[in-house]
Amino acid sequence: MFIKINGKSLKISEETTLGAFLADNNINSRKVVIELNRDIIRETSLDKVIIKENDTIEILSLVGGG
């Protein structure tokens, strides 16, 4: 199935959770904010949310500085 990640089309396996997707792509869920179809997903829910065909996901990195 195809989804959009940060504006780019990507093919992934069906029944993939957000948590599994992040782990498979070496993304630390504590250092990013995940937006799924314009809704922010809490870190505690990542393993419960199953990605569906045509979902749009934005992965936002947290950056500190001054």
CATH number of the domain at 20, please: 3.10.20.30
Q: Distance between CA 26 and CA 40 in Å, rounded?
A: 20
Q: Is 50 within the bounds of a domain?
A: yes
Q: Is 35 within the bounds of a domain?
A: yes
pLDDT of residue 32: 95
pLDDT of residue 56: 98
Domain count, the chain: 1
Q: Is 46 within the bounds of a domain?
A: yes
Q: Is 27 within the bounds of a domain?
A: yes
Q: Is 66 within the bounds of a domain?
A: no
**Residue range of the domain that includes 30:** 2-61
pLDDT of residue 53: 97
> Which residues does 53 contact at the CB level (< 8 Å), separation at least 6?
1, 2, 3
Q: Is 54 within the bounds of a domain?
A: yes
CB atoms within 10 A of CB 65: 3
pLDDT block averages, 10 residues each, the chain of length 66: 97 96 95 97 97 97 79
